[in-house]
Amino acid sequence: MIKYSWDEGRTWGTHTISGGAFDINNISTEPSNMEQRFVITGTRRSSNAETEATIIGLIDLSDLHTRGCLGSEHPDRPSSDYETWIPTNFQGEQCVFGKKFKYVRRKPEAKCYNSINVEQVTKKIK
């Protein structure tokens, strides 16, 4: 079973994969990481108890959210599916690895998916 979250862990969904027990080694997507389809590779025990590498399956979550997100050019507006986010370190400071960045990301509660055509916005904070 694969568990996934669209809202930063507030709620969880499951996707069942048949074929017996396996260990996941890698989850791959398109280079843009914007796709909703994933190839899962891993290992499982063969009938003679040897470990063999295998493609576990293709997971397609595209039917969960059929609407592309809107409003990336105006994050933080109520009508936008995006927000401005500044990561913090463990002390709550807006400095991670000696740098401050501001990102535009999908709001966790937005019931949409990032379109492949959405440009990722990252700004360095002075």
Confidence class of residue 78 from pLDDT cuts 50, 70 and 90? very high
Q: State the pLDDT at residue 122.
A: 59
Rg (CA), the chain: 18
Q: Whole-model pTM above 0.85?
A: no
Domain boundaries, given as residue ranges, for the chain: 2-60, 65-126
DSSP 48-102: TS-EEEEEEEEEE-TTT--SBP--TTSTTSTT-SEEEE----TTS-S-BTTB-EE
What gap in Å lies between CA 105 and CA 10, rounded to an integer?
17
**In the predicted model, is pLDDT for residue 126 greater than 70?**
no
To which residue do tokens 């063969």 refer? 46
Average pLDDT over residues 10-14: 88
Residue 35 scores a pLDDT above 80: no
| 76 has pLDDT over 90 | yes
